[in-house]
């Protein structure tokens, strides 16, 4: 089932061809429902080029178009806007064509898969294994998970890559500290268990700063680690595994799937990066790869220093050491050559914009990535405290992500216990679902590139564009079905749907926009487009079911009753599918 905008756009294009014009139909969803559902601005842009009046050209397009199976007769507004309003009969037929939900839970609502699927790498989360995940990792994790879910839903092959920091000088310090404080880990690495990674790091760093002997030992440990010393490597791996255990406790709770690839995974590939760049430098054919003050650099062009000099991407430092650019170029080689990626998305904070701009330009400059292949930095802003300042603990430290999740669930449990007839187990399940959903949804509903203030009161509000409101909207529909004593299985695809009332028309139109929303999110990667749509859908349903401005449902005449109950079911299915793509599970009762 194609998005309606494509079907209608094809009709406008055919009409343009019929009057001898090959042009973009310039079709978009109408900004004001009173003018219709879709609007074409094609006549406005073509009129001057063709030497015709916009309204005359618009009329010629309307005369040539065939849309009576989709729309009411098109109308022309203003200087030449063509407005299209979907007909109730089309809305009813299109909704009726949506197949029943499969029993395995893989509901696609009749939407097809991508005709030309991509192999997409989504680089998300990326914590440093030396410390616990903090509030700053929330955005990369939930945004990346949402993007991956939408792309998978569209039929693309998605690799969820967790590029964790597990290499470098600080790991020499941590391994040396492990040897001192927990010597048994040398012989029995599987016994390692660290209750508080943050405290462990702070203690190791304090000793490193205060004890010259330990500082020397740490540096020697780094050399041994990078040289492949088996004992040091065993301790290092035990520490990394223990750190990842902490991370995956959070990932499992959030329902996030990913593949861990530490910087160490790309160690050999970083040597390959240097070999290839030196070969390009020495060939004399590529002046954009050259040495600068003893460092090996790529000059991608288009970037300058404050003094106006060409700004290079430094790949190997003058002392022979590697940096983030070396590692990131190695990941690109792996993703393009091994994973066969055709699109790579980096979900990383907006402060890294210049780094990724230069990285992408450099990878294209040296020919490791085709010019047409999408390399995208999905940048996002910061999570702030309610006063607009950086989100810190009272002691000034970073806020641990696990503590944030615990607090959200505890607050949700408090709200539920005030007025609930749920059992203790049911209340715990609802609190866990609502609390985690509130944190995720609040993050995803904000514009990516802006900062937002963390506020649990707003997150857990039952009104407005929040997870509790959305979960309640879904549970309310399921409650209506239970009250009507109609199971969704009984609402078969051959059941006729009738669309007559304005509230029915509004809701049906909104339901059929789901395909366009998914397409938009998959292309532009903005989760808030999906949250905004689901919120509008929930409000449309509320008007549909309102006794004063909506329609009778449970007590309606039998033919309309079943039709409207099926519309209720389709709404619940779209809400459930949309929330699942946000990484949020629904609950049947609240």
- Say how many CA atoms lie within 13 Å of 188 toward its Cβ: 6
Please list the pLDDT of the chain residue by residue as tens digits (590 residues): 789 999 999 999 999 999 999 999 999 999 888 899 999 999 988 988 898 999 999 999 999 999 999 999 999 999 999 999 999 999 999 999 999 888 887 899 999 999 999 999 999 999 988 888 998 899 999 999 999 999 999 999 999 999 999 988 889 999 999 988 888 887 887 888 888 888 898 899 999 999 999 999 999 998 898 888 998 998 899 899 989 999 999 999 999 999 999 999 998 899 999 999 999 999 877 789 999 999 999 999 999 999 999 999 999 998 888 888 999 999 999 999 999 999 999 999 999 999 999 999 999 999 999 999 999 999 999 999 888 888 876 666 778 999 999 999 999 988 776 666 778 888 889 999 999 999 999 999 999 989 999 999 999 999 999 999 999 999 999 999 999 987 765 666 667 899 999 999 999 999 999 999 999 999 999 999 999 999 999 999 999 999 999 999 999 998 899 999 999 999 999 999 999 999 999 999 87
R_g over Cα of the chain: 28
CA distance 189 to 239: 8
pLDDT confidence of residue 418:
65
pLDDT confidence of residue 111:
94
Which pair of structure tokens corresponds to residue 556? 């309606």
Q: Coil, strand or helix: which one is 76?
A: strand
What angle in degrees, to the nearest 10, is found between the helix axes of 502-511 and 527-545? 160
Under DSSP, the state recorded for 283 is H
Under DSSP, the state recorded for 81 is E
pLDDT confidence of residue 497:
94
Residues 189 and 234: beta-carbon distance below 8 Å: yes
Which pair of structure tokens corresponds to residue 128? 């440093």
Which pair of structure tokens corresponds to residue 488? 């969704």
pLDDT confidence of residue 393:
66
CATH of segment(s) 401-581 = 1.10.730.10
CA distance 249 to 34: 50
CA distance 55 to 44: 8
- State how far Cα 112 lies from the chain centre: 20
Sorted by where each begins, the domain ranges of the chain are: 4-86, 119-165+259-380, 167-257, 401-581
Q: Where are the beta strands (DSSP E) in 30-144?
A: 38-40, 75-77, 81-84, 119-123
State the SS3 of 425-460.
HHHHHHHHHHHHHHHHHHHHCCCCCCCEECCHHHHC
Burial 564-589 (b: 16+ CB within 10 A, else e): bbbbbbbbbbbbbbbbbbbbbebbee
375: Cβ–Cβ under 8 A, 6 or more apart, which residues? Answer: 332, 344, 346, 360, 363, 364, 369
Strand 81-84 to 75-77 pairing: antiparallel
**CATH architecture of the domain covering 119-165+259-380:** 3-Layer(aba) Sandwich (3.40)
pLDDT confidence of residue 498:
95
Which pTM was predicted? 0.93
pLDDT confidence of residue 286:
78
* Residue whose structure tokens are 């030449």: 80
Can you say whether residue 583 is alpha, beta or left, with left for phi > 0 and alpha for psi between -120 and 50 degrees? left
CA distance 56 to 47: 9
Burial 279-299 (b: 16+ CB within 10 A, else e): ebbeeeebebbeeeeebbbbb
196: Cβ–Cβ under 8 A, 6 or more apart, which residues? Answer: 132
Name the residue among 440, 366, 377, 384 with its Cα closest to residue 409.
Answer: 440
CA distance 394 to 398: 9
CA distance 521 to 519: 6
pLDDT confidence of residue 419:
63
Q: Coil, strand or helix: which one is 514?
A: helix
pLDDT confidence of residue 216:
93
CATH of segment(s) 4-86 = 3.30.1360.70
Question: DSSP for 368-398?
Answer: SS-TTS-EEE--B--EE-TTSSB-B-TTS-B
pLDDT confidence of residue 320:
84
Q: Coil, strand or helix: which one is 315?
A: strand
Domains 4-86 and 401-581 share a fold: no
């Amino acid at each position: 089932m194609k998005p309606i905008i494509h079907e209608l756009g094809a009709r406008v294009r055919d009409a343009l061809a019929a009057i001898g014009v090959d042009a973009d139909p310039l079709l978009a969803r109408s900004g004001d429902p009173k003018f219709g559902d879709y609007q074409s601005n094609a006549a406005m842009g073509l009129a001057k080029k063709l030497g015709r009046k916009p309204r005359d050209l618009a009329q010629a397009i309307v005369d040539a178009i065939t849309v009576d199976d989709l729309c009411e007769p098109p109308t022309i507004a203003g200087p030449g806007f063509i407005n299209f309003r979907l007909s109730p009969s089309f809305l009813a037929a299109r909704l009726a064509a949506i197949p029943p939900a499969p029993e395995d839970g893989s509901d696609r609502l009749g939407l097809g898969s991508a005709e030309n699927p991509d192999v997409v790498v989504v680089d998300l989360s990326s914590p440093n294994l030396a410390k616990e995940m903090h509030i700053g990792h929330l955005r990369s994790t939930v945004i990346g998970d949402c993007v991956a879910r939408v792309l998978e839903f569209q039929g693309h092959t998605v690799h969820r890559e967790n590029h964790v920091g597990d290499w470098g000088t600080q790991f020499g310090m941590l391994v040396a500290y492990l040897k001192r404080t927990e010597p048994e880990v040398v012989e029995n690495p599987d016994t390692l268990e660290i209750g508080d990674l943050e405290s462990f790091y702070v203690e190791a760093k304090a000793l490193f700063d205060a004890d010259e002997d330990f500082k020397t030992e740490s540096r020697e440990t780094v050399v041994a680690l990078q040289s492949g010393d088996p004992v040091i490597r065993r301790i290092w791996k035990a520490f990394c595994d223990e750190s990842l255990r902490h991370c995956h406790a959070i990932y499992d709770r959030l329902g996030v799937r990913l593949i861990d690839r530490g910087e160490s995974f790309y160690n050999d590939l970083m040597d390959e990066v240097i070999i290839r760049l030196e070969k390009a430098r020495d060939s004399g054919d590529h002046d954009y790869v050259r040495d600068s003050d003893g460092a090996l650099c790529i000059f991608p062009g288009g970037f300058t220093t404050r003094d106006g000099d060409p700004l290079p991407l430094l790949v190997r430092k003058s002392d022979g050491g590697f940096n983030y650019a070396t590692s990131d170029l190695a990941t690109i080689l792996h993703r393009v050559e091994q994973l066969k990626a055709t699109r790579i998305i980096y979900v990383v904070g907006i402060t890294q914009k210049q780094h990724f701009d230069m990285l992408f330009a450099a990878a294209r400059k040296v020919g490791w990535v085709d010019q047409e292949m999408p390399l995208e930095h999905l940048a996002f802003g910061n999570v702030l405290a309610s006063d607009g300042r950086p989100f810190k603990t009272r002691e000034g430290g970073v806020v641990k992500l696990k503590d944030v999740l615990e607090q959200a669930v505890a607050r949700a449990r408090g709200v539920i216990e005030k007025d609930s007839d749920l059992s203790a187990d049911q209340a715990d399940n609802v609190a866990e679902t609502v609390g985690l959903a509130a944190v995720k949804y609040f993050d995803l509903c904000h514009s990516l590139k802006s900062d937002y203030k963390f506020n649990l009161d707003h997150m857990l509000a039952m009104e407005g564009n929040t997870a509790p409101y959305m979960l309640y909207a879904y549970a309310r529909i399921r409650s209506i079905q239970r009250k009507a004593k109609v199971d969704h299985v009984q609402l078969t695809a051959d059941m006729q749907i009738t669309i007559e009332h304005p509230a029915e028309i509004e809701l049906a139109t909104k339901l059929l926009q789901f395909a366009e929303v998914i397409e938009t999110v998959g292309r532009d990667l903005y989760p808030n487009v999906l949250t905004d749509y689901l919120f509008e859908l929930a409000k449309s349903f509320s008007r549909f079911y309102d006794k004063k401005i909506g329609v009778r449902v449970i007590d309606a005449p039998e033919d309309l009753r079943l039709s409207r109950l099926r519309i209720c079911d389709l709404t619940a299915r779209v809400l459930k599918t949309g929330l699942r793509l946000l990484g949020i599970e629904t609950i049947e009762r609240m």
